[in-house]
Chains A and B, each alone.
Chain A
């Protein structure tokens, strides 16, 4: 993490506040705190912000505030950041069925790492994963903190269609596909929960700074939850992070 954030211009209407050049929970926390501080400040002219692994993209209207003045205000906010302001992180429980047709690559992941399928499930579902950012497709969470014991390279040939809800592994990363999309991740399971619903408010289930916990379920539970999701009756369990 840098001593002081860098302000980088991104054209006439945006700037990037860069906090570091690595992926770490500390930088993520700083981003979360700064994001909330900017939101709270009610700074005139801010249009929207996009938090990422190590930066915040700030879009603003120069008719309200010019670049130099905005940098000055942002520096003030950064200097006055304190820990007390941020809310405790939430853990969103994602019920997941592992293996079978839902996770066709789980046996490869097991073989690749000299593990049994049950061990892969045990390792994958025993941690809470920090949501660093959303991007790539609507609602796609970039999760951090997967165990190296189940690291597996991407497929050599990507699949043309991966069903929404698929849980996968790519290298050191794990993730969930919110919508049907092509992709090269090793698929180990699937959740019946909807991560993206354009008609909902907010349209996504997960937020940067929160955590994801995968909870193994069987096919009967999967079908039950899927039906509830389709009837709009399902709500996810949310726990507080135990430190």
Chain B
């Protein structure tokens, strides 16, 4: 069987795809990869469907014994990846062989690293997804984070991966400790005074230690409600900025509950969620307002970048001859 074996699991390494879509009405959280961009590009680099399951490593990466011949790609936070003790490139397809050892260490830039395997990860789908929802012990590998000795099946025989696939350096994101993310106000912005909205949009908020896959609690100027902090429960999306009675915002992330009874002042737009996903405790964030129309135009640009990356990956590659690097473009004659 083609598989990988976990030698050291790292801090929190889980199997994630694009999440459990269509089950929120039953109260089932979506889960899925926190950083949509790094996750999808990792899959594209090894010729997978963009939404195939990958490993998501957090803060401290795993050490993995490779038990198949094929390809992997590593994207997201820089955890100084090594193959058999030699440094390897991120954001490229990397050829691996049975018996190789892949080792990641602590994140030196960003927080979450994605490892895609050509052909995908062969765990069963539960409610149409391979994503791990740890709080509900659901999906992924036995519903939990990976542990030492776990053997995870890899569908290497289905791989369409090719050698030397890469993305242009211009597309590789830099992960900073201070960021601006864009928000659309609402759905409950009318529960706040105009001053509170101004405060929210003009202050720096620090991510507290209570920040995980479910949500990020922020610390900064308090936001006061005019209509009270509680509402009759309604739906929550990825990026919802909840403000409970204590006045400090919480940004809801992939493992959020489906519904909640706190006011939501704004929603972080989906193309900026990868920025949030790569930040952790101690980092700071500012919020910038955009209209719904602007947010959708930003989304269209975001999707176009991913399409361009996909096109380039499918139609060009690089080869290395001693110290020289060649870029080959494939054109139909």
A-B complex is real? yes
Chain A residues packing against B (C-beta within 8 Å): 8-14, 16, 18, 21-23, 47-57, 59, 62-63, 66-68, 133-140, 142, 179, 196, 198-199, 202-204, 208
| CB nearest neighbor in B for A141 | B27
Partner of B239, one of A11, A51, A56, A66: A11
Contacts of B239 in A (CB 8 A): 11
Please determine whether B269 and A208 come into contact, CB atoms closer than 8 angstroms: no
| CB nearest neighbor in A for B303 | A63
Task: Render B185-209 as a binary contact track against A, CB cut-off 8 A, 1 for contact.
Answer: 1111000000000000000000000
Please determine whether B237 and A11 come into contact, CB atoms closer than 8 angstroms: yes
Please determine whether A13 and B270 come into contact, CB atoms closer than 8 angstroms: yes
Range of interface residues on chain B? 35 or more
Main secondary structure of the interface of A (DSSP, over half): loop
Task: Contacts A12-B292, A13-B237, A67-B293 given; indicate if A202 touches B187 (C-beta within 8 A).
Answer: no
Partner of A53, one of B188, B232, B267, B298: B232
Please determine whether A202 and B234 come into contact, CB atoms closer than 8 angstroms: no
Summed over the interface, the residue pairs from A and B with CB atoms below 8 Å come to a total of 135
Contacts of A10 in B (CB 8 A): 184, 186-187, 235, 237, 240, 264, 267
Contacts of A66 in B (CB 8 A): 293, 296
Contacts of B303 in A (CB 8 A): 63
Partner of A47, one of B21, B27, B183: B21
Interface assignment of B171: CB less than 8 Å from any CB of chain A: no
Partner of B186, one of A9, A47, A59, A139: A9
Centre residue among A11, A14, A16, A47 by max chain B CB count within 10 A: A11
- The CA of A203 and the CA of B128, in the complex, are separated in Å by 11
Task: Render B161-197 as a binary contact track against A, CB cut-off 8 A, 1 for contact.
Answer: 0000000000000000000000111111000000000
Please determine whether A16 and B257 come into contact, CB atoms closer than 8 angstroms: no
> Nearest-CB distance from A170 to chain B (Å)?
13
- The CA of A22 and the CA of B327, in the complex, are separated in Å by 63
Contacts of A53 in B (CB 8 A): 232-234
- The CA of A13 and the CA of B298, in the complex, are separated in Å by 12
> Nearest-CB distance from A17 to chain B (Å)?
10
Cβ < 8 Å to A, chain B residues 70-90: none
Please determine whether B28 and A52 come into contact, CB atoms closer than 8 angstroms: no
Please determine whether B21 and A203 come into contact, CB atoms closer than 8 angstroms: no
Cβ < 8 Å to A, chain B residues 110-163: 126-127, 136, 138
Please determine whether A208 and B25 come into contact, CB atoms closer than 8 angstroms: yes
> Nearest-CB distance from A185 to chain B (Å)?
16
Task: Contacts A8-B186, A48-B21, A57-B234 given; indicate if A136 touches B240 (C-beta within 8 A).
Answer: no
> Nearest-CB distance from A131 to chain B (Å)?
11
Please determine whether B237 and A57 come into contact, CB atoms closer than 8 angstroms: yes
Interface assignment of B105: CB less than 8 Å from any CB of chain A: no
Partner of A12, one of B27, B187, B236, B295: B295
Please determine whether B187 and A9 come into contact, CB atoms closer than 8 angstroms: yes
